[in-house]
Amino acid sequence: MASLSLRNITKRYGHGPKANQVIHGVNAEVKDGEFVVIVGPSGCGKSTLLRMVAGLEEISGGELRIGDRVVNDLEPAQRDIAMVFQNYALYPHMTNFENMAYGLKIAKVPKDEIKARVDKAAKILELGHLLERKPRELSGGQRQRVAMGRAIVRQPQVFLFDEPLSNLDAKLRAQTRLEIQKLHRELGITSLFVTHDQVEAMTLAQRMIVMNAGNMEQFGTPEEVYHTPATTFVASFIGSPPMNLLKNAPGAQPGTILGIRPEHLDVRSEGWAVTVETVELLGAERLIYGRINGEQVIVRVEEGTHSPEPDSVIHVQPRADRLHAFDAATGKRK
C-alpha cells in the first residue's frame, strides 16, 4: 500500500497558443489506505485525472507520486496499480478463474501462488462457486465482482475504479457499493473511485474531490462537502435535492448569494413567504417546490406534514446556523 500525491497536476491537448487545457492544477494528498472518490458532471475531467494516475494519459505538468516514487514518466505496468473499468473488460472465452488469474500468469507468478491468490479473492467476493463458469453465465453484478477480483489478486499499491457501477441497475448498484465498502475494510488498499453519481460519492468516500470544468472545487469528507460547501457549484451539485441558492432572499446582502438546504427550512406561521407551485411525495418525506421573490426554492418536510395546495402561500423559517453565504461574483464561500 502507498500514499498518493498529486501536486499541481495539469493536462493539455495540443501545443502552443491553441493548446486546450482540460485539467487546471489539481493538488491532493491521498493518505495510505484511504478511499477517495472523484465526483463531478460529465466532461469535468474526473476520468482524465484518473487515467493520468494510471499512466494511460500523459501528464502535461506537475508531479505525481505513488508512495515515495515520482511516476510521471513510468509506464502503467511499472506503477503498481490495478484498475477496474466500467465495461468489465473480461475475456469471454476464459473461465472466471482464468480471467482473474490472467495478469498473474503473464507475470509468471507460480501456479500454486496464483491459485491461492484467486481463491482468497473469490472468497472475499463470494465467487468461489462461479470460478469455472464463463462471464456470459453471470449477471452484471457478478461480472463486476470478477473484474474486482482480477484487480485484487494483483496486490497493488493503489486501486483505480473508473465508474465501475454505471452499467448496473439501481438495486445492484446499491448492493455493489456495500461490497466495495466491505472490500476496502478488509484490504485497506489506497483507492481512487470516479463517479458522476453524488449518492455513490457520499456513501463510499472517506474524502472526496469535487471536479468542475477541470478544476478541483473542494477536497474534503462527505460531511464537510455537504455541510460547508466551498462554492456554489459544490452546493448545487452535492445533495439531492440540491441546496437552495437565492440572490433575492429576504435579508440577503447585495453581492451575496444565500444558501440553505431544503431540510433546513422549517414551515412556520411566519417567515419567508413561499408561493407553492407543486408538491412531490417521496414516501417518508415531501418536497415542496415554490418561489420566493421570483426564485425557485425547495422545502423538504417529513411525512405527515400538511401538504399545501398549488398557488397557496406558506411561510418558512431558515435555521440561522444553517445559512451559507457565497460571493455572487466568484461563487466562493464567504
83 and 162 in a common domain: yes
The 10s digit of each residue's pLDDT in 262-316 is 999 999 999 999 999 999 998 889 999 999 999 999 999 998 788 899 999 999 9
- Other Cβ atoms less than 10 A from the Cβ of 294: the count is 8
As a whole number, mean pLDDT of residues 232-236 equals: 97
Q: How many domains does the chain have?
A: 2
Residue 140 resides in a domain: yes
Domain that residue 306 falls in: 245-327
Q: Secondary structure of the chain: what % helix, strand, coil (to 5)?
A: 30, 35, 35
Question: How sure is the predictor about 225, in pLDDT bands with cuts at 50, 70 and 90?
Answer: very high
Residue 229's Cβ-side half-sphere holds a number of Cα atoms within 13 Å equal to 28
Q: Distance from CA of residue 64 to its chain's centroid?
A: 21
Do residue 250 and residue 218 come from a single domain? Answer: no
Residues 73 and 189 in one domain: yes
Do 228 and 91 lie in one domain? The reply is yes
pLDDT band at 85 (very low <50, low <70, confident <90, very high): confident
The CATH number of residue 70's host domain is: 3.40.50.300
Which of 205, 234, 263 is where one domain is finished? 234
Q: Are residues 203 and 257 in the same domain?
A: no
> Are both 179 and 266 inside the same structural domain?
no
Report yes or no on 332 lying in a domain: no
Q: Give the model confidence (pLDDT) of 170-215 as tens digits.
A: 888 888 888 889 889 988 999 999 999 999 999 999 999 999 999 9
Choose the final residue of a domain: 179, 203, 234: 234
Instruction: Write the CATH number for 252.
Output: 2.40.50.140
Across the chain, mean pLDDT equals 93
Whole-model pTM over 0.95: no
**Are 230 and 249 found together in one domain?**
no
